[in-house]
Amino acid sequence: TQSTGVLLTRHTKSCGNLHSMVFLEPDGEEDSGRGAITQSLTEQIFAKLDANGDGGISCEELATRLLAQGTEPDQVSELFATLDANSDGLITLQEFQAGFDAYRGLDNLRDWREWGLHDVPGPIQQGSMPADPMDWGMTVQQLYDCGIEEAGSEEDILGEPPESSSATSMYQYVKNTVKPQTLGTGMSLAVSLNREHPKRARVFVSHSWAENFSFLVLVLGFSCFTDSAFNEQSKETFADLLGLNLKLLLQPEDTLWICALSINQNADIQAELGGDVLQSPFARVLRQCPEMVILSNPKVEIYSRVWCCLEAHLAVQKIAEDPEFKVQAVGIPLLEQDQFQVQTAIEEAPEFGEGFRLFANGGFPDSYTEIYEK
């Protein structure tokens, strides 16, 4: 049914079918099941936050409210950047209403009545991650859609040199897009995209966060690209450059588990990963997925990231236990010797072997999330 309310959309990028929006109904009922919200109420809250009455909320004014509730400073900064759509240093009433869902995700709402506000709703019901990390997947098509939204077009993705230092890396994509977009949802990007029908992972992706996001999208989402986007070069020639076997291409409906997109990046990462690295979501998912893809890139050697060493160690164990387990190496390696298969890597690359043996022998630090992004 068509809503007669006012549709307020958050001024951040939406990815695939993820939309951060609030329906403000004329009678004050919100259409998302999160309690009663009226436009008058958002105006009252805005006025309370705008302590100096200049018609805009500064970062300091926002922090005054949220830091007192125990919100982390970096969360306040990220929320301010999300709400300040035009980046002029002040949040206007329109921007605040557009991003109210994100604000409400951090404000615990307990003392609104003490502010003398009317029509105060009950606490927001946060989203949650499925208990089984295998259900934190996303499709190849959804990854492709995210890539197109980030870059603008297939041609823009294809035209970006994979070794470019000015391109958006996975680190930057998580910081500038994933975290703001999922702030206050209690979910990862992948889970948010599939909140109604969680996707069960089939392919575990081992990658380095330092690669360009567009490169990751191109290699993993290659089957989604149209033939016309390749211009003078054939799709087959391009596939060969990327280390892809056209007969083994991931298909649009295949479900991926990519740590940067499957794990809730706004959560307490230590709690998200758990106290035992071998029982972390990484390890549990890799043990259950029937396929693994190792994505090399021309910017950094993949096994300089210790988590990739752990993933390779677990993959070798699984190969020994399950002959049907498939491991496919794709991408453009920084070094020629980075292109070998996992088993060969253990035998021929000392730095690789030392990396995974660190985990195998229980030598990882107590707070191993300190090296989560390394």
298-305: average pLDDT: 81
pLDDT at 68: 81
What's phi and psi for 235, nearest 5 deg?
Answer: -60, -35
- CA–CA gap between residue 25 and residue 5 (Å, rounded): 4
DSSP-assigned letters across all residues of 94-107: HHHHHTHHHHHTT-
Q: What amino acid occupies position 138?
A: M
- CB crowding 67-89: b at 16 or more within 10 Å, else e: eeeebeeebbebbbbbbbbeeee
What's the CA gap between 229 and 223, in Å, rounded? Answer: 12
Q: How far apart are CA 110 and CA 127, in angstroms?
A: 19
Q: Which has more pLDDT, 359 or 257? A: 257
Q: How distant, in Å, are the alpha carbons of 100, 146, 208, 215, 297 from that of 258? A: 29, 13, 10, 14, 15
The mean per-residue pLDDT over the stretch 183-200 comes to 89
* pLDDT at residue 223 in the model: 93
pLDDT at 34 over 60: no
Average confidence (pLDDT) over 121-126: 41
Q: Once rounded to an integer, what is the mean pLDDT over residues 94-107?
A: 81
Flag whether the pTM goes above 0.85: no
Query: What 3 state SS string does 321-333 have?
Result: HCCCCEEEEEECC
Quote the tokens at residue 287: 């043990």
d(CA 28, CA 38): 4
Check: CB of residue 21 under 8 Å from CB of residue 10: yes
What number is the average pLDDT over the span 135-149? 96
**What tens digit of pLDDT does each residue of 216-255 get?**
999 999 999 998 888 767 788 888 888 888 888 999 999 9
Kindly state the percentage of the chain with pLDDT values over 70: 71
Mean pLDDT (the chain) is: 76
Tokens of 92: 């206007």
